[in-house]
Structure 1
Amino acid sequence: MRHFLTLKDYTKEEILEILTIGLEIKKEVKAKEFKPRMAGQTLAMIFEKSSTRTRVSFEVGMYQLGGHALFLSNRDIHLGRGEPVKDTARVISSMCDMVMIRTYEQAMLEEFALYSKVPVINGLSDSYHPVQLLADYMTMMECGKDKNPVVAYVGDGNNMTHSWLMLSAKLGFELRVATPKGYECDPAIIADALALAEQSGAKITFTNDPKEAVKGATVVTTDTWISMGQEEEKAQRIKAFEGYIVDEALMALATDDAIFLHCLPAYRGVEVSEAVLDGAQSVIFEEAENRLHAQKGLMVWLNKHR
Protein backbone atom coordinates (compact mmCIF):
# COMPACT_ATOMS: atom_id res chain seq x y z
CA MET A 1 0.00 0.00 0.00
CA ARG A 2 1.22 3.50 -0.86
CA HIS A 3 0.40 6.89 0.64
CA PHE A 4 0.81 10.23 -1.16
CA LEU A 5 2.31 12.58 1.42
CA THR A 6 5.14 14.16 -0.58
CA LEU A 7 6.59 13.79 -4.08
CA LYS A 8 9.84 12.81 -2.39
CA ASP A 9 8.38 9.30 -1.97
CA TYR A 10 7.74 8.83 -5.70
CA THR A 11 9.93 8.03 -8.69
CA LYS A 12 9.86 9.93 -11.96
CA GLU A 13 8.20 6.95 -13.61
CA GLU A 14 5.47 6.77 -10.97
CA ILE A 15 4.70 10.50 -11.19
CA LEU A 16 4.40 10.32 -14.97
CA GLU A 17 2.28 7.17 -14.75
CA ILE A 18 -0.17 8.94 -12.42
CA LEU A 19 -0.39 11.88 -14.83
CA THR A 20 -0.84 9.61 -17.84
CA ILE A 21 -3.82 7.96 -16.11
CA GLY A 22 -5.22 11.39 -15.27
CA LEU A 23 -4.90 12.61 -18.87
CA GLU A 24 -6.59 9.45 -20.13
CA ILE A 25 -9.51 9.97 -17.74
CA LYS A 26 -9.70 13.66 -18.70
CA LYS A 27 -10.03 12.71 -22.38
CA GLU A 28 -12.86 10.31 -21.48
CA VAL A 29 -14.66 12.95 -19.42
CA LYS A 30 -14.49 15.45 -22.28
CA ALA A 31 -16.14 12.78 -24.44
CA LYS A 32 -18.81 12.32 -21.71
CA GLU A 33 -17.50 8.83 -20.87
CA PHE A 34 -17.45 8.07 -17.16
CA LYS A 35 -15.91 4.73 -16.27
CA PRO A 36 -16.64 3.54 -12.70
CA ARG A 37 -13.02 2.80 -11.81
CA MET A 38 -13.77 3.19 -8.09
CA ALA A 39 -17.38 2.07 -7.93
CA GLY A 40 -18.70 1.60 -4.42
CA GLN A 41 -15.63 3.11 -2.78
CA THR A 42 -15.57 6.01 -0.32
CA LEU A 43 -13.06 8.82 0.10
CA ALA A 44 -12.96 10.50 3.53
CA MET A 45 -11.96 14.16 3.15
CA ILE A 46 -10.65 15.71 6.37
CA PHE A 47 -10.37 19.51 6.28
CA GLU A 48 -8.57 21.31 9.08
CA LYS A 49 -7.90 24.04 6.49
CA SER A 50 -10.76 25.09 4.21
CA SER A 51 -10.40 25.16 0.42
CA THR A 52 -12.42 25.76 -2.73
CA ARG A 53 -10.41 23.78 -5.28
CA THR A 54 -9.40 20.89 -3.02
CA ARG A 55 -12.92 20.09 -1.88
CA VAL A 56 -14.58 20.48 -5.28
CA SER A 57 -11.91 18.56 -7.20
CA PHE A 58 -11.78 15.57 -4.84
CA GLU A 59 -15.54 15.41 -4.33
CA VAL A 60 -16.40 15.69 -8.02
CA GLY A 61 -13.49 13.44 -8.95
CA MET A 62 -14.61 10.62 -6.69
CA TYR A 63 -18.18 10.97 -7.98
CA GLN A 64 -17.01 10.76 -11.61
CA LEU A 65 -15.04 7.62 -10.74
CA GLY A 66 -18.20 5.98 -9.42
CA GLY A 67 -17.44 6.42 -5.73
CA HIS A 68 -18.52 8.70 -2.91
CA ALA A 69 -16.65 11.47 -1.07
CA LEU A 70 -17.40 12.30 2.56
CA PHE A 71 -16.61 15.85 3.78
CA LEU A 72 -15.34 16.06 7.37
CA SER A 73 -14.38 19.42 8.86
CA ASN A 74 -12.67 19.77 12.24
CA ARG A 75 -16.14 20.55 13.64
CA ASP A 76 -17.47 17.18 12.45
CA ILE A 77 -14.92 14.82 14.00
CA HIS A 78 -12.98 14.48 17.25
CA LEU A 79 -9.55 14.80 15.61
CA GLY A 80 -7.70 17.56 17.44
CA ARG A 81 -10.42 17.76 20.09
CA GLY A 82 -9.26 15.09 22.47
CA GLU A 83 -9.02 11.96 20.34
CA PRO A 84 -5.47 10.92 19.39
CA VAL A 85 -4.61 11.00 15.69
CA LYS A 86 -3.84 7.27 15.70
CA ASP A 87 -7.31 6.41 17.03
CA THR A 88 -9.06 8.58 14.43
CA ALA A 89 -6.90 7.00 11.72
CA ARG A 90 -7.80 3.47 12.79
CA VAL A 91 -11.52 4.25 12.91
CA ILE A 92 -11.87 6.17 9.64
CA SER A 93 -9.63 3.81 7.68
CA SER A 94 -11.72 0.85 8.84
CA MET A 95 -14.80 2.38 7.21
CA CYS A 96 -13.42 4.20 4.15
CA ASP A 97 -11.28 3.13 1.19
CA MET A 98 -9.06 6.23 0.99
CA VAL A 99 -8.42 9.37 3.05
CA MET A 100 -7.49 12.88 1.93
CA ILE A 101 -6.31 15.32 4.61
CA ARG A 102 -5.81 19.07 4.30
CA THR A 103 -4.06 20.21 7.45
CA TYR A 104 -1.35 22.31 9.04
CA GLU A 105 1.37 19.94 10.23
CA GLN A 106 3.06 17.39 7.99
CA ALA A 107 3.76 15.35 11.13
CA MET A 108 0.02 14.85 11.68
CA LEU A 109 -0.35 13.46 8.16
CA GLU A 110 2.55 11.10 8.68
CA GLU A 111 1.16 9.85 11.99
CA PHE A 112 -2.29 9.34 10.46
CA ALA A 113 -0.76 7.38 7.56
CA LEU A 114 1.23 5.23 9.97
CA TYR A 115 -1.97 3.93 11.59
CA SER A 116 -4.21 3.98 8.51
CA LYS A 117 -5.27 0.75 6.79
CA VAL A 118 -5.93 2.63 3.53
CA PRO A 119 -4.02 5.14 1.34
CA VAL A 120 -3.69 8.66 2.73
CA ILE A 121 -3.36 11.70 0.43
CA ASN A 122 -1.83 15.02 1.41
CA GLY A 123 -4.37 17.63 0.26
CA LEU A 124 -2.03 20.32 1.67
CA SER A 125 0.16 20.77 4.70
CA ASP A 126 2.41 23.60 5.79
CA SER A 127 5.35 21.66 4.33
CA TYR A 128 4.03 20.37 0.99
CA HIS A 129 1.20 20.64 -1.54
CA PRO A 130 1.95 17.68 -3.84
CA VAL A 131 -1.50 17.30 -5.45
CA GLN A 132 -1.21 20.86 -6.76
CA LEU A 133 2.10 20.01 -8.42
CA LEU A 134 0.49 17.09 -10.23
CA ALA A 135 -2.01 19.56 -11.71
CA ASP A 136 0.74 22.06 -12.51
CA TYR A 137 2.86 19.54 -14.37
CA MET A 138 -0.18 18.14 -16.19
CA THR A 139 -0.83 21.69 -17.41
CA MET A 140 2.79 22.01 -18.52
CA MET A 141 2.45 18.74 -20.45
CA GLU A 142 -0.69 19.95 -22.22
CA CYS A 143 1.00 23.25 -23.10
CA GLY A 144 4.12 21.50 -24.42
CA LYS A 145 6.24 22.93 -21.61
CA ASP A 146 7.44 19.60 -20.23
CA LYS A 147 10.33 19.30 -22.70
CA ASN A 148 13.44 20.76 -21.04
CA PRO A 149 11.46 23.32 -19.04
CA VAL A 150 12.99 26.20 -17.12
CA VAL A 151 10.66 27.01 -14.24
CA ALA A 152 10.93 30.25 -12.27
CA TYR A 153 9.21 30.38 -8.89
CA VAL A 154 8.88 33.91 -7.48
CA GLY A 155 7.65 34.51 -3.95
CA ASP A 156 7.53 32.89 -0.53
CA GLY A 157 9.59 29.82 0.38
CA ASN A 158 6.48 27.89 1.39
CA ASN A 159 4.76 24.55 0.81
CA MET A 160 4.35 25.30 -2.90
CA THR A 161 8.04 26.10 -3.30
CA HIS A 162 8.97 22.94 -1.40
CA SER A 163 6.79 20.89 -3.74
CA TRP A 164 8.35 22.52 -6.81
CA LEU A 165 11.76 21.58 -5.39
CA MET A 166 10.71 17.95 -5.08
CA LEU A 167 9.12 17.82 -8.55
CA SER A 168 12.20 19.34 -10.17
CA ALA A 169 14.53 17.03 -8.26
CA LYS A 170 12.50 13.96 -9.24
CA LEU A 171 11.85 14.81 -12.90
CA GLY A 172 15.23 16.42 -13.59
CA PHE A 173 14.29 19.87 -14.92
CA GLU A 174 15.70 23.33 -14.15
CA LEU A 175 14.10 25.28 -11.32
CA ARG A 176 15.02 28.80 -10.22
CA VAL A 177 13.64 29.99 -6.90
CA ALA A 178 13.52 33.71 -6.05
CA THR A 179 12.56 34.59 -2.46
CA PRO A 180 13.16 37.67 -0.30
CA LYS A 181 15.81 37.41 2.39
CA GLY A 182 14.32 35.83 5.47
CA TYR A 183 11.64 34.01 3.49
CA GLU A 184 13.73 31.22 2.00
CA CYS A 185 12.71 27.55 1.86
CA ASP A 186 13.22 25.11 4.73
CA PRO A 187 16.96 24.23 4.77
CA ALA A 188 16.23 20.53 5.40
CA ILE A 189 13.91 20.34 2.38
CA ILE A 190 16.48 22.19 0.25
CA ALA A 191 19.11 19.65 1.27
CA ASP A 192 16.81 16.75 0.37
CA ALA A 193 16.00 18.28 -3.02
CA LEU A 194 19.63 19.00 -3.89
CA ALA A 195 20.62 15.44 -2.98
CA LEU A 196 17.89 14.06 -5.24
CA ALA A 197 18.84 16.53 -8.00
CA GLU A 198 22.32 15.02 -8.15
CA GLN A 199 20.71 11.74 -9.16
CA SER A 200 18.22 13.14 -11.69
CA GLY A 201 20.40 15.87 -13.21
CA ALA A 202 18.03 18.64 -12.14
CA LYS A 203 19.48 22.14 -11.92
CA ILE A 204 18.12 24.00 -8.89
CA THR A 205 19.25 27.52 -8.05
CA PHE A 206 18.26 30.09 -5.43
CA THR A 207 18.35 33.87 -5.62
CA ASN A 208 16.90 36.98 -4.00
CA ASP A 209 16.47 38.61 -7.44
CA PRO A 210 13.17 37.83 -9.26
CA LYS A 211 14.55 39.16 -12.56
CA GLU A 212 17.47 36.75 -12.41
CA ALA A 213 15.09 33.84 -11.88
CA VAL A 214 12.61 34.77 -14.62
CA LYS A 215 15.04 35.68 -17.41
CA GLY A 216 14.64 33.08 -20.15
CA ALA A 217 12.19 30.94 -18.15
CA THR A 218 9.54 28.92 -20.01
CA VAL A 219 7.25 28.67 -16.97
CA VAL A 220 6.72 31.40 -14.38
CA THR A 221 4.81 30.66 -11.19
CA THR A 222 4.04 32.27 -7.85
CA ASP A 223 1.77 31.88 -4.82
CA THR A 224 0.10 34.14 -2.30
CA TRP A 225 2.47 35.94 0.06
CA ILE A 226 0.01 35.60 2.95
CA SER A 227 -1.08 32.00 3.46
CA MET A 228 -3.86 30.85 5.77
CA GLY A 229 -2.75 31.47 9.35
CA GLN A 230 -0.37 34.32 8.42
CA GLU A 231 -2.94 37.12 8.32
CA GLU A 232 -1.31 38.96 11.25
CA GLU A 233 1.92 39.23 9.21
CA LYS A 234 0.18 40.83 6.21
CA ALA A 235 1.66 44.35 6.43
CA GLN A 236 5.14 43.01 7.23
CA ARG A 237 5.03 40.54 4.37
CA ILE A 238 3.78 43.02 1.77
CA LYS A 239 6.70 45.27 2.64
CA ALA A 240 9.23 42.40 2.56
CA PHE A 241 7.98 41.17 -0.83
CA GLU A 242 8.16 44.57 -2.53
CA GLY A 243 9.47 44.02 -6.07
CA TYR A 244 8.30 40.39 -6.21
CA ILE A 245 5.00 41.01 -7.98
CA VAL A 246 4.78 39.06 -11.25
CA ASP A 247 3.74 41.89 -13.55
CA GLU A 248 4.08 42.53 -17.29
CA ALA A 249 7.64 43.84 -16.91
CA LEU A 250 8.78 40.71 -15.07
CA MET A 251 6.95 38.33 -17.45
CA ALA A 252 8.62 40.10 -20.39
CA LEU A 253 11.95 38.66 -19.20
CA ALA A 254 10.68 35.11 -19.75
CA THR A 255 10.50 33.52 -23.19
CA ASP A 256 7.81 34.93 -25.50
CA ASP A 257 5.79 31.72 -25.25
CA ALA A 258 6.24 31.22 -21.51
CA ILE A 259 3.18 30.28 -19.47
CA PHE A 260 2.10 31.64 -16.11
CA LEU A 261 0.88 29.35 -13.31
CA HIS A 262 -0.71 30.11 -9.94
CA CYS A 263 -2.33 27.58 -7.58
CA LEU A 264 -5.04 30.10 -6.55
CA PRO A 265 -6.56 31.88 -4.80
CA ALA A 266 -4.67 34.82 -6.29
CA TYR A 267 -4.61 38.31 -4.85
CA ARG A 268 -4.69 40.58 -7.86
CA GLY A 269 -2.27 43.46 -7.66
CA VAL A 270 -0.33 41.83 -4.80
CA GLU A 271 1.75 38.80 -5.87
CA VAL A 272 0.55 39.03 -9.50
CA SER A 273 -0.83 41.84 -11.61
CA GLU A 274 -4.31 41.79 -13.11
CA ALA A 275 -2.78 42.03 -16.61
CA VAL A 276 -0.65 38.90 -16.14
CA LEU A 277 -3.36 36.89 -14.38
CA ASP A 278 -5.88 37.54 -17.17
CA GLY A 279 -3.30 37.74 -19.95
CA ALA A 280 -2.65 35.45 -22.91
CA GLN A 281 0.22 33.65 -21.16
CA SER A 282 -1.85 32.75 -18.10
CA VAL A 283 -3.19 29.18 -17.92
CA ILE A 284 -4.38 29.38 -14.32
CA PHE A 285 -7.93 28.18 -14.97
CA GLU A 286 -6.78 25.23 -17.08
CA GLU A 287 -4.41 24.51 -14.20
CA ALA A 288 -7.25 24.73 -11.67
CA GLU A 289 -9.39 22.30 -13.70
CA ASN A 290 -6.47 19.89 -13.87
CA ARG A 291 -6.65 19.45 -10.10
CA LEU A 292 -9.76 17.37 -10.86
CA HIS A 293 -8.14 15.19 -13.50
CA ALA A 294 -4.69 14.78 -11.91
CA GLN A 295 -6.24 13.74 -8.60
CA LYS A 296 -8.46 11.19 -10.31
CA GLY A 297 -5.30 9.73 -11.83
CA LEU A 298 -3.73 9.67 -8.37
CA MET A 299 -6.70 7.97 -6.69
CA VAL A 300 -6.93 5.32 -9.40
CA TRP A 301 -3.16 4.70 -9.16
CA LEU A 302 -3.26 4.39 -5.36
CA ASN A 303 -6.22 2.05 -5.60
CA LYS A 304 -4.27 -0.19 -7.98
CA HIS A 305 -1.30 -0.31 -5.59
CA ARG A 306 -3.18 -1.22 -2.40
Structure 2
Amino acid sequence: MPAESATSLLCPVCRDPLGFSDAAGRSLACPAGHSFDAAKQGYFNFLVGKGTVFEADTADMVAARFDFLSAGHYRPLADAVAERAAGALAGNAARSPGTVLDAGTGTGHYLRALLDRLAHDGIRAGAIGLDISKFALRRAARLNPDAVNVVGDVWQPLPLADHAVDVITVVFAPRNASEFARVLRPGGRLVVVTPRQGHLAEVAGQTGMLGIDPAKDERLAASLEGHFAALSADHLDVPLSLSPDDVARLALMGPAGHHLDRGALASLAAGLPPLTAVSARFRINVFEPRH
Protein backbone atom coordinates (compact mmCIF):
# COMPACT_ATOMS: atom_id res chain seq x y z
CA MET A 1 0.00 0.00 0.00
CA PRO A 2 1.38 3.47 -0.81
CA ALA A 3 2.94 5.40 2.04
CA GLU A 4 0.71 8.43 1.41
CA SER A 5 -2.30 6.37 2.50
CA ALA A 6 -1.06 6.44 6.09
CA THR A 7 0.34 9.96 6.44
CA SER A 8 -2.89 11.34 7.91
CA LEU A 9 -3.55 8.52 10.40
CA LEU A 10 -3.59 9.07 14.15
CA CYS A 11 -3.10 6.51 16.89
CA PRO A 12 -6.52 5.54 18.29
CA VAL A 13 -5.01 5.28 21.77
CA CYS A 14 -3.03 8.54 22.21
CA ARG A 15 -3.85 10.50 19.02
CA ASP A 16 -0.19 10.82 18.03
CA PRO A 17 0.68 10.44 14.32
CA LEU A 18 0.96 6.91 12.98
CA GLY A 19 3.38 5.66 10.37
CA PHE A 20 4.44 2.39 8.83
CA SER A 21 7.20 0.79 10.88
CA ASP A 22 8.12 -1.83 8.30
CA ALA A 23 8.88 -1.81 4.60
CA ALA A 24 6.00 -4.16 3.80
CA GLY A 25 3.36 -1.83 5.24
CA ARG A 26 2.11 -4.48 7.67
CA SER A 27 2.68 -2.58 10.91
CA LEU A 28 1.71 0.90 12.09
CA ALA A 29 3.26 2.59 15.11
CA CYS A 30 3.22 5.97 16.88
CA PRO A 31 6.04 7.75 18.77
CA ALA A 32 4.51 6.68 22.09
CA GLY A 33 5.07 3.04 21.17
CA HIS A 34 1.54 1.92 20.39
CA SER A 35 1.62 -0.44 17.43
CA PHE A 36 -0.96 -2.10 15.23
CA ASP A 37 -0.20 -5.09 13.06
CA ALA A 38 -2.26 -5.92 10.02
CA ALA A 39 -4.47 -8.99 10.20
CA LYS A 40 -3.54 -11.75 7.76
CA GLN A 41 -6.22 -10.42 5.40
CA GLY A 42 -4.49 -7.01 5.37
CA TYR A 43 -6.67 -4.71 7.50
CA PHE A 44 -5.87 -2.91 10.78
CA ASN A 45 -8.13 -3.06 13.83
CA PHE A 46 -8.41 0.34 15.54
CA LEU A 47 -11.24 -0.56 17.91
CA VAL A 48 -9.86 0.21 21.35
CA GLY A 49 -11.39 0.98 24.73
CA LYS A 50 -15.06 0.30 25.37
CA GLY A 51 -16.99 -1.57 22.74
CA THR A 52 -19.15 0.20 20.22
CA VAL A 53 -22.94 0.17 20.45
CA PHE A 54 -23.16 0.01 16.65
CA GLU A 55 -24.15 -3.41 15.29
CA ALA A 56 -21.59 -4.55 12.74
CA ASP A 57 -22.62 -6.45 9.63
CA THR A 58 -22.34 -10.21 9.99
CA ALA A 59 -20.37 -12.57 7.76
CA ASP A 60 -23.42 -13.69 5.76
CA MET A 61 -24.63 -10.09 5.28
CA VAL A 62 -21.18 -9.15 3.98
CA ALA A 63 -21.05 -12.20 1.69
CA ALA A 64 -24.45 -11.27 0.24
CA ARG A 65 -23.30 -7.69 -0.41
CA PHE A 66 -20.04 -8.82 -1.96
CA ASP A 67 -21.76 -11.22 -4.35
CA PHE A 68 -24.47 -8.71 -5.30
CA LEU A 69 -22.05 -5.85 -5.96
CA SER A 70 -19.58 -8.13 -7.76
CA ALA A 71 -22.33 -8.90 -10.26
CA GLY A 72 -22.27 -5.23 -11.27
CA HIS A 73 -25.85 -4.34 -10.37
CA TYR A 74 -24.85 -1.06 -8.71
CA ARG A 75 -21.97 -0.25 -11.05
CA PRO A 76 -23.67 2.93 -12.37
CA LEU A 77 -23.81 4.22 -8.80
CA ALA A 78 -20.15 3.37 -8.17
CA ASP A 79 -19.18 5.22 -11.36
CA ALA A 80 -21.25 8.26 -10.39
CA VAL A 81 -19.65 8.47 -6.95
CA ALA A 82 -16.19 8.01 -8.47
CA GLU A 83 -16.85 10.79 -10.98
CA ARG A 84 -17.73 13.31 -8.28
CA ALA A 85 -14.90 12.34 -5.96
CA ALA A 86 -12.32 12.31 -8.75
CA GLY A 87 -13.50 15.72 -9.89
CA ALA A 88 -12.96 17.12 -6.40
CA LEU A 89 -9.46 15.64 -6.23
CA ALA A 90 -8.60 16.97 -9.67
CA GLY A 91 -9.62 20.42 -8.46
CA ASN A 92 -7.04 20.10 -5.67
CA ALA A 93 -4.27 18.93 -8.02
CA ALA A 94 -1.89 21.57 -6.69
CA ARG A 95 -1.93 19.70 -3.35
CA SER A 96 -1.28 16.29 -4.91
CA PRO A 97 -1.31 13.63 -3.68
CA GLY A 98 -4.69 14.01 -2.03
CA THR A 99 -6.38 11.69 0.44
CA VAL A 100 -9.74 9.92 0.24
CA LEU A 101 -11.70 8.52 3.19
CA ASP A 102 -14.40 5.98 2.36
CA ALA A 103 -16.47 5.98 5.57
CA GLY A 104 -18.46 2.77 5.87
CA THR A 105 -16.42 1.21 3.09
CA GLY A 106 -18.08 -2.19 3.49
CA THR A 107 -16.63 -4.64 1.01
CA GLY A 108 -14.70 -1.83 -0.69
CA HIS A 109 -16.49 -1.89 -4.07
CA TYR A 110 -17.22 1.83 -4.24
CA LEU A 111 -13.68 2.72 -3.19
CA ARG A 112 -12.30 0.32 -5.82
CA ALA A 113 -14.27 2.13 -8.52
CA LEU A 114 -12.89 5.45 -7.30
CA LEU A 115 -9.28 4.24 -7.17
CA ASP A 116 -9.60 2.85 -10.69
CA ARG A 117 -11.02 6.17 -11.90
CA LEU A 118 -8.16 8.09 -10.27
CA ALA A 119 -5.58 5.81 -11.90
CA HIS A 120 -7.28 6.29 -15.27
CA ASP A 121 -7.23 10.08 -14.85
CA GLY A 122 -3.63 10.13 -13.63
CA ILE A 123 -4.55 11.53 -10.20
CA ARG A 124 -2.42 10.43 -7.24
CA ALA A 125 -4.23 9.95 -3.94
CA GLY A 126 -3.92 7.93 -0.79
CA ALA A 127 -7.04 6.09 0.36
CA ILE A 128 -8.43 4.95 3.70
CA GLY A 129 -11.37 2.57 4.01
CA LEU A 130 -13.13 2.59 7.40
CA ASP A 131 -15.82 0.18 8.56
CA ILE A 132 -17.06 -1.30 11.83
CA SER A 133 -17.29 -4.84 10.45
CA LYS A 134 -14.16 -6.96 10.42
CA PHE A 135 -15.96 -9.32 8.03
CA ALA A 136 -16.39 -6.47 5.57
CA LEU A 137 -12.79 -5.31 5.99
CA ARG A 138 -11.50 -8.78 5.15
CA ARG A 139 -13.13 -8.39 1.75
CA ALA A 140 -12.17 -4.73 1.35
CA ALA A 141 -8.51 -5.32 2.14
CA ARG A 142 -8.26 -7.97 -0.56
CA LEU A 143 -10.08 -5.79 -3.08
CA ASN A 144 -8.15 -2.60 -2.22
CA PRO A 145 -4.59 -3.50 -1.20
CA ASP A 146 -3.56 -0.01 -2.36
CA ALA A 147 -5.59 1.53 0.50
CA VAL A 148 -5.24 1.43 4.29
CA ASN A 149 -8.27 -0.54 5.50
CA VAL A 150 -9.25 0.10 9.10
CA VAL A 151 -11.82 -1.42 11.45
CA GLY A 152 -13.18 1.58 13.34
CA ASP A 153 -16.31 3.22 14.66
CA VAL A 154 -17.47 6.31 12.76
CA TRP A 155 -19.20 7.57 15.92
CA GLN A 156 -15.89 7.74 17.77
CA PRO A 157 -13.15 10.32 17.03
CA LEU A 158 -11.83 9.36 13.61
CA PRO A 159 -8.17 8.20 13.56
CA LEU A 160 -7.25 11.08 11.25
CA ALA A 161 -5.51 14.42 11.68
CA ASP A 162 -7.36 17.72 11.35
CA HIS A 163 -7.90 18.86 7.74
CA ALA A 164 -6.05 15.81 6.38
CA VAL A 165 -8.62 14.55 3.88
CA ASP A 166 -9.69 15.96 0.50
CA VAL A 167 -12.77 13.81 -0.14
CA ILE A 168 -15.05 11.70 2.05
CA THR A 169 -17.45 9.25 0.43
CA VAL A 170 -20.37 7.80 2.39
CA VAL A 171 -22.55 5.26 0.57
CA PHE A 172 -25.48 3.98 2.67
CA ALA A 173 -23.47 4.47 5.85
CA PRO A 174 -23.66 6.57 9.04
CA ARG A 175 -22.47 10.19 8.97
CA ASN A 176 -20.58 11.85 11.82
CA ALA A 177 -20.89 15.48 10.72
CA SER A 178 -18.56 17.06 13.28
CA GLU A 179 -15.78 14.54 12.70
CA PHE A 180 -16.16 14.71 8.93
CA ALA A 181 -15.86 18.50 9.10
CA ARG A 182 -12.80 18.25 11.34
CA VAL A 183 -10.82 15.95 9.06
CA LEU A 184 -11.81 17.58 5.73
CA ARG A 185 -9.54 20.26 4.35
CA PRO A 186 -11.00 23.65 3.42
CA GLY A 187 -12.47 23.20 -0.03
CA GLY A 188 -12.83 19.45 0.49
CA ARG A 189 -15.91 17.51 -0.51
CA LEU A 190 -18.31 15.15 1.25
CA VAL A 191 -20.17 12.83 -1.14
CA VAL A 192 -23.21 11.13 0.41
CA VAL A 193 -25.47 8.52 -1.21
CA THR A 194 -28.92 7.79 0.20
CA PRO A 195 -31.92 5.85 -1.16
CA ARG A 196 -34.96 7.74 -2.47
CA GLN A 197 -38.64 6.98 -2.13
CA GLY A 198 -39.49 3.92 -4.23
CA HIS A 199 -36.02 2.40 -3.91
CA LEU A 200 -36.39 -1.38 -4.45
CA ALA A 201 -40.14 -1.02 -3.88
CA GLU A 202 -40.95 -4.02 -6.10
CA VAL A 203 -39.34 -6.43 -3.60
CA ALA A 204 -38.85 -4.47 -0.38
CA GLY A 205 -42.16 -5.32 1.26
CA GLN A 206 -42.25 -9.02 0.55
CA THR A 207 -38.62 -9.60 1.54
CA GLY A 208 -38.80 -7.64 4.81
CA MET A 209 -36.44 -4.83 3.85
CA LEU A 210 -36.72 -1.62 5.83
CA GLY A 211 -38.84 1.17 4.34
CA ILE A 212 -37.51 4.58 3.27
CA ASP A 213 -38.20 7.42 5.69
CA PRO A 214 -40.22 10.05 3.75
CA ALA A 215 -38.26 12.75 5.59
CA LYS A 216 -34.86 11.18 4.88
CA ASP A 217 -33.58 14.09 2.76
CA GLU A 218 -34.65 16.63 5.37
CA ARG A 219 -32.98 14.65 8.14
CA LEU A 220 -29.76 14.39 6.13
CA ALA A 221 -29.70 18.16 5.56
CA ALA A 222 -30.46 18.88 9.22
CA SER A 223 -27.76 16.51 10.47
CA LEU A 224 -25.09 18.22 8.36
CA GLU A 225 -26.31 21.82 8.37
CA GLY A 226 -24.11 23.14 11.17
CA HIS A 227 -20.94 21.81 9.55
CA PHE A 228 -21.59 21.58 5.79
CA ALA A 229 -23.12 23.57 2.95
CA ALA A 230 -24.90 21.74 0.13
CA LEU A 231 -23.34 22.06 -3.33
CA SER A 232 -25.39 19.66 -5.46
CA ALA A 233 -28.00 16.92 -5.31
CA ASP A 234 -28.62 14.52 -8.19
CA HIS A 235 -30.97 11.60 -8.72
CA LEU A 236 -29.81 8.34 -10.26
CA ASP A 237 -32.26 5.60 -11.28
CA VAL A 238 -30.89 2.15 -12.13
CA PRO A 239 -33.23 -0.50 -13.59
CA LEU A 240 -32.35 -3.99 -12.37
CA SER A 241 -33.31 -7.45 -13.58
CA LEU A 242 -32.63 -9.78 -10.68
CA SER A 243 -32.51 -13.54 -10.25
CA PRO A 244 -34.17 -15.03 -7.14
CA ASP A 245 -30.74 -15.41 -5.52
CA ASP A 246 -29.95 -11.75 -6.17
CA VAL A 247 -33.26 -10.66 -4.66
CA ALA A 248 -32.37 -12.63 -1.53
CA ARG A 249 -28.89 -11.10 -1.46
CA LEU A 250 -30.37 -7.63 -1.85
CA ALA A 251 -32.57 -8.15 1.20
CA LEU A 252 -29.84 -9.73 3.29
CA MET A 253 -27.07 -7.22 2.55
CA GLY A 254 -28.87 -4.21 4.07
CA PRO A 255 -29.80 -3.26 7.65
CA ALA A 256 -32.74 -5.68 7.64
CA GLY A 257 -30.22 -8.50 7.35
CA HIS A 258 -29.65 -8.28 11.11
CA HIS A 259 -33.21 -9.46 11.72
CA LEU A 260 -34.39 -11.42 8.67
CA ASP A 261 -35.35 -15.07 8.96
CA ARG A 262 -32.89 -16.71 6.56
CA GLY A 263 -35.09 -19.75 6.01
CA ALA A 264 -38.16 -17.68 5.23
CA LEU A 265 -36.14 -15.54 2.84
CA ALA A 266 -34.86 -18.61 1.00
CA SER A 267 -38.41 -19.97 0.69
CA LEU A 268 -39.65 -16.65 -0.68
CA ALA A 269 -36.82 -16.50 -3.22
CA ALA A 270 -37.61 -20.03 -4.38
CA GLY A 271 -41.09 -18.87 -5.38
CA LEU A 272 -39.93 -15.91 -7.45
CA PRO A 273 -39.86 -15.89 -11.28
CA PRO A 274 -36.50 -16.35 -13.05
CA LEU A 275 -36.10 -12.58 -13.30
CA THR A 276 -37.69 -9.76 -11.31
CA ALA A 277 -37.66 -6.13 -12.49
CA VAL A 278 -36.57 -3.82 -9.68
CA SER A 279 -35.92 -0.07 -9.61
CA ALA A 280 -32.96 1.23 -7.63
CA ARG A 281 -33.35 4.93 -6.84
CA PHE A 282 -30.47 6.90 -5.38
CA ARG A 283 -29.78 10.48 -4.35
CA ILE A 284 -26.16 11.68 -4.58
CA ASN A 285 -25.43 14.76 -2.48
CA VAL A 286 -22.21 16.75 -2.48
CA PHE A 287 -21.34 19.06 0.42
CA GLU A 288 -18.44 21.32 1.36
CA PRO A 289 -17.33 22.09 4.94
CA ARG A 290 -18.22 25.44 6.48
CA HIS A 291 -14.63 26.29 7.47
- Quick check: TM above 0.5? no
TM-score when normalising by structure 1: 0.36
Counting helix residues as a fraction of each chain, which structure ranks higher? 1
Per the normalisation by structure 2, the TM-score is: 0.38
> Between Structure 1 and Structure 2, which shows a larger proportion of strand residues?
2
